[in-house]
Structure 1
Amino acid sequence: MARVTDTETEGALLPEPAPGEIQLVAVLSALADPIRLRIVRELADAAGPLSCTALELPVSKSTCTHHFRVLRESGVIRQQRVGTARMSSLRTAELGERFPGLLASVLSAAADGASG
């Protein structure tokens, strides 16, 4: 079996559902967790993709990895390998096409809940 080197995976996207395969139940389930919602809020506020370590989350590294995987597998975020890091960004356009207004509504409600 050939060994995959870092240069072979540089820039590679991690597996994610195609836009037409994103399911509303999976997205809502992923966003129901407070840590994952916090990740989504921080990604929405970021100027560009963020590494997992750029977010200061009150969970262990393995739990953080789990939350990012749930978000990616549900279609909420995209992750790309850059060196040894996994850079994450929201799939805003794809979610907007599939479920118009959903992400904006969730982020607005989360902001209202955080300020209240």
Structure 2
Amino acid sequence: MDRRLVLSLTNALVLAFTLLSSAGFAQEKVEGTVTGTKLTACQFKPGGCEGYLTLETKGGPKPEQVTLKVALGTPIKKGKEDLFLPALRGKLVAVSYVTDKGEKLAKSVEVLEGKR
């Protein structure tokens, strides 16, 4: 094989690996009480709700409002039980999310039991 071709392929693989691995590190987690939900679509199956979730967090000196987009297929759980987006109002939750084009996109939502 031509040396330039081998170097080009090696560089392409390194770049692809770097981009894919950095995407995994961008995931963050936020905890808070759900103050509101807005449905944009709902199917009656686990992960079937799409919409927005608003949390009140208590991480700093004063509470903050955080809004996250919940896409179809996002797991919403309380223990092993699947929940729908509207059932989260008033519950303390932990949300894993990524920021995509300036918008926080939920990857999973877990109700924290026994805490309020």
Fold agreement, TM-score > 0.5: no
Q: Which has the higher contact order (CA 8 A, sep 6+)?
A: 1
- Structure with greater strand percent: 2
Q: Under a length normalisation based on structure 2, what TM-score does the superposition of the two structures give?
A: 0.29
- Structure with greater helix percent: 1
Q: Under a length normalisation based on structure 1, what TM-score does the superposition of the two structures give?
A: 0.29
